[in-house]
Structure 1
């Protein structure tokens, strides 16, 4: 903003001083004036906005420093309006007292210097505006963090969860300790990490979570530690890694047991030195990041087999917290169902038979499986036009555990038999993971056709950063569900090196 747009309010009983200041800075600032206290507050309570207040200390013939008495009230009532004291008093005691009471600067009338005064006016105004913007930004960050915490609530009243919450709260008071979260897939390790962040000394600092197994090995180092422009083919600009983005906060590294030896060495170096080096750089960077790792694997066994470094494992297990599987805390299942259904009374959304089946199921996939099951059941109920979810809306592995087998349509290539429909109440024998893979592959297939097989356009439409991530996603689906690809000829043709039927 040009300084011409800044509006300054002069408060001085000397009208000649008003004229001098207005004339000297007529091309730089806009001005308004008051000669006594009542007029000052009338202007401030009006509709006009002021960016700076120039305040004389002596506002009448009494020679009492009325301005000093006004500063605290001005700061209290108008905290966004900075005050510069402009007076003939050169006393150091007066300067100190004015600054103590809230003035931002102090200028002596007899020492007028145009450039210096203009600089001080601008510095105080822009400094105040910057503080205001920072306050707005901090409020926005706090609001978004509150939303994130609401999106990842740590739900549970079982004794196990209460104890874990107590431990996480205690550990959060040690902002430099490395934490290892263990437990089966889907037990809520990221939720626990976010709970740790929300309780502790770093709660107002960044939180970054990254699933290491979802990133290609060739991109993992640059994703974590960043890279310099030209470090490798496609590195068209400098990029910060997750470590830098989490500086002063917490970085959660999920699936730590899946990283290769090269990344293990670099992570160990950071834990020992708190320093990283971007790919393509010759300079180390010091960071302040608390590392929280998570895995469903047995790291001790991986160390014994030589797949995981023993020295890194020793660093990671400074504090180990094991999250229990959902089947060992069944009394938390109704709480989770109420949360995901957004309904306090489960009887309004689930029949008694469905509730009993959900409570008695083993939940091998834990909370993640339960969450996916809720989405699946809601979709099935809409398809079957049912007001309440009954046993026919449940996934087949819940209604008939152990009976899962691939449907005939998978082997024959008949895609129509795999569509969710009211005529297949059991879900055609597919589990939830296959249903989600099917939906994802169907979306990719349609986008490939729409985008004339331009993979970059497809990746962007899905929300992926590049075609490498799209290829990785398809490869993951093929590793888990190769039988599904017979129904997606465009994907199979576009990714012949992956899809080998």
Structure 2
């Protein structure tokens, strides 16, 4: 059992913590009590959850700024259950809690969107430090979003002046004022959820909740419970009545991401709700109603799925009141400089893109669309040395893994094996910086990560990539 001090006078004095709302998800009642008391002693507001269902409900209702998530979830203490929850908390930093030495599991968690991880038994100072950093990140993200809204009131968060972007914004404004259902279509990584959020923000429901769910992430049974809720005793582990996301979105907007992945049994139940505004929780007999606007999105060809018989035709026509299409990056190249600058400033507010960097960005294909552009630019920004203020083309190539004229590579080239002189110099510089910092920290990964200004997960990735593990 992890022991955490409840008197935080000494630990709080080292670094002034960022006060905020933390959701602590752990099945151990003792850890909930100790961890909750410790965080409250630091001045944070803490919401506790003992399993995935409680966590999702608390996340939707309480809107915390940071999630501490134990990966071992009941009923079988399977870490896969915890891993499946991570994408559901996508709008805030998620810090996963793992057993000692579970670095492979922690790296899998980061690939799914986790921001950092802590190893049990948890060091109180490290918990305080990570929570403070996570809350600062959450606040910075919120400030940047607010700044974008202030600087470009008309862009609805949909950055760009390419004709396809301008046309999409205009359609969003018109459609948002109606009550018609909306289907957002487009390739992966083009910002379909961003469009859904813009529709909500421009609508008369803007003061209501915006609730999102990925329809392909759960089985038909779990998806039904998530959407419509369940009654106590309706299945093993249903210890109390649990409202669903449809009910949580009452008065607001429900976003069904990747609706093309929805299992056929659920398509029937969703159709009934869209037609009547009524639903029955799992295990219940009493019909409930919810005033919820549904916005659906998918990268799949729903018309082809209807012809193949894998998607219901009546549901398709119910969803497609209005169809909005998010353009691929290839359709809006003029937006690349503005988007790249916004992404860079999220991780390095004072940095800039050199002329060569902009030329490299404009010349590159972006099959992963905006999501890929964001990943490359933010990675380049994170690689900037403390005294650097400009991101150049070579740093972008380093961040993308594209170390030559051939297809992008995910590994650093070995010395003398296809690496140009600048590539080799950048590699040597990063290797020396990481190695010297590890030596100065006495081999302590947490301390080294703190000195480098990166997360411990990021440090472990660098150590592995550079052959320093």
Query: Structure 2 length normalisation: TM-score?
Result: 0.53
Pairing 1:104-143 to 2, within 5 Å after superposition: none
Indicate conservation of the 8 Å contact 1:184/1:296, yes or no. yes
Separation of aligned partners in 1, 2:297 and 2:373: 20
Partner of 2:303: 300
Partner of 2:392: 390
Separation of aligned partners in 2, 1:189 and 1:148: 21
Partner of 1:192: 195
1:231-268 residue CA offsets vs partner (Å, 9 max, x unmatched): 11111221111100111111110100111101111111
User: CA 1:283–1:426 in structure 2 vs 1: closer, same or farther (change >3 Å)?
Assistant: farther
Partner of 1:222: 225
Partner of 1:242: 245
Helix, strand or coil for the counterpart of 1:262?
helix
State the Cα distance separating 1:369 from its structure 2 match: 1.3
Partner of 1:166: 170
Helix, strand or coil for the counterpart of 1:291?
strand
Indicate conservation of the 8 Å contact 1:149/1:194, yes or no. no
The answer as to 2:245 corresponding to 1:263 is: no
Partner of 2:334: 331
Indicate conservation of the 8 Å contact 2:184/2:297, yes or no. yes
State the Cα distance separating 1:161 from its structure 2 match: 1.6
The answer as to 2:366 corresponding to 1:363 is: yes
Pairing 1:440-451 to 2, within 5 Å after superposition: none
Separation of aligned partners in 2, 1:147 and 1:386: 27
Structure with max Cα Rg:
1
User: CA 1:285–1:148 in structure 2 vs 1: closer, same or farther (change >3 Å)?
Assistant: farther
Indicate conservation of the 8 Å contact 2:401/2:411, yes or no. no
Separation of aligned partners in 1, 2:225 and 2:429: 47
Aligned length, in residue pairs: 275
User: CA 1:332–1:407 in structure 2 vs 1: closer, same or farther (change >3 Å)?
Assistant: closer
Separation of aligned partners in 2, 1:340 and 1:186: 15
Helix, strand or coil for the counterpart of 1:294?
strand
State the Cα distance separating 1:347 from its structure 2 match: 10
Q: 2:275 aligns with which of 272, 276, 288?
A: 272
Q: 2:289 aligns with which of 270, 286, 299?
A: 286
User: CA 1:165–1:359 in structure 2 vs 1: closer, same or farther (change >3 Å)?
Assistant: same
State the Cα distance separating 1:166 from its structure 2 match: 1.4
User: CA 1:402–1:265 in structure 2 vs 1: closer, same or farther (change >3 Å)?
Assistant: farther
Helix, strand or coil for the counterpart of 1:186?
coil
The answer as to 2:378 corresponding to 1:375 is: yes
User: CA 1:256–1:401 in structure 2 vs 1: closer, same or farther (change >3 Å)?
Assistant: farther
Unaligned segments of structure 1, at least 5 residues:
1-142, 410-420, 428-445, 447-461, 463-483, 488-501
Indicate conservation of the 8 Å contact 1:181/1:320, yes or no. yes
Helix, strand or coil for the counterpart of 2:187?
coil
Query: Structure 1 length normalisation: TM-score?
Result: 0.49
State the Cα distance separating 1:386 from its structure 2 match: 4.3
Separation of aligned partners in 1, 2:389 and 2:260: 44
Helix, strand or coil for the counterpart of 2:205?
coil
State the Cα distance separating 1:358 from its structure 2 match: 0.9
State the Cα distance separating 1:388 from its structure 2 match: 2.4
Partner of 2:72: none
Helix, strand or coil for the counterpart of 1:213?
coil
State the Cα distance separating 1:387 from its structure 2 match: 3.8
State the Cα distance separating 1:285 from its structure 2 match: 0.6
Pairing 1:9-158 to 2, within 5 Å after superposition: 150=149, 153-158=157-162
The answer as to 2:427 corresponding to 1:423 is: yes
The answer as to 2:314 corresponding to 1:311 is: yes
Separation of aligned partners in 2, 1:256 and 1:341: 32
State the Cα distance separating 1:329 from its structure 2 match: 0.8
Partner of 2:22: none
The answer as to 2:356 corresponding to 1:353 is: yes
State the Cα distance separating 1:210 from its structure 2 match: 1.6
Partner of 1:254: 257
Separation of aligned partners in 1, 2:231 and 2:400: 50
State the Cα distance separating 1:348 from its structure 2 match: 4.9
User: CA 1:402–1:276 in structure 2 vs 1: closer, same or farther (change >3 Å)?
Assistant: farther
Helix, strand or coil for the counterpart of 2:178?
coil
Separation of aligned partners in 2, 1:386 and 1:296: 39
User: CA 1:373–1:214 in structure 2 vs 1: closer, same or farther (change >3 Å)?
Assistant: farther
Separation of aligned partners in 2, 1:329 and 1:301: 26
1:424-448 residue CA offsets vs partner (Å, 9 max, x unmatched): 7999xxxxxxxxxxxxxxxxxx9xx
User: CA 1:367–1:408 in structure 2 vs 1: closer, same or farther (change >3 Å)?
Assistant: closer
Helix, strand or coil for the counterpart of 1:181?
strand
1:288-324 residue CA offsets vs partner (Å, 9 max, x unmatched): 1111000011111111222111111111111101111
Helix, strand or coil for the counterpart of 2:164?
helix
User: CA 1:426–1:252 in structure 2 vs 1: closer, same or farther (change >3 Å)?
Assistant: farther
Unaligned segments of structure 2, at least 5 residues:
1-141, 151-155, 414-424, 432-444, 446-456, 458-463
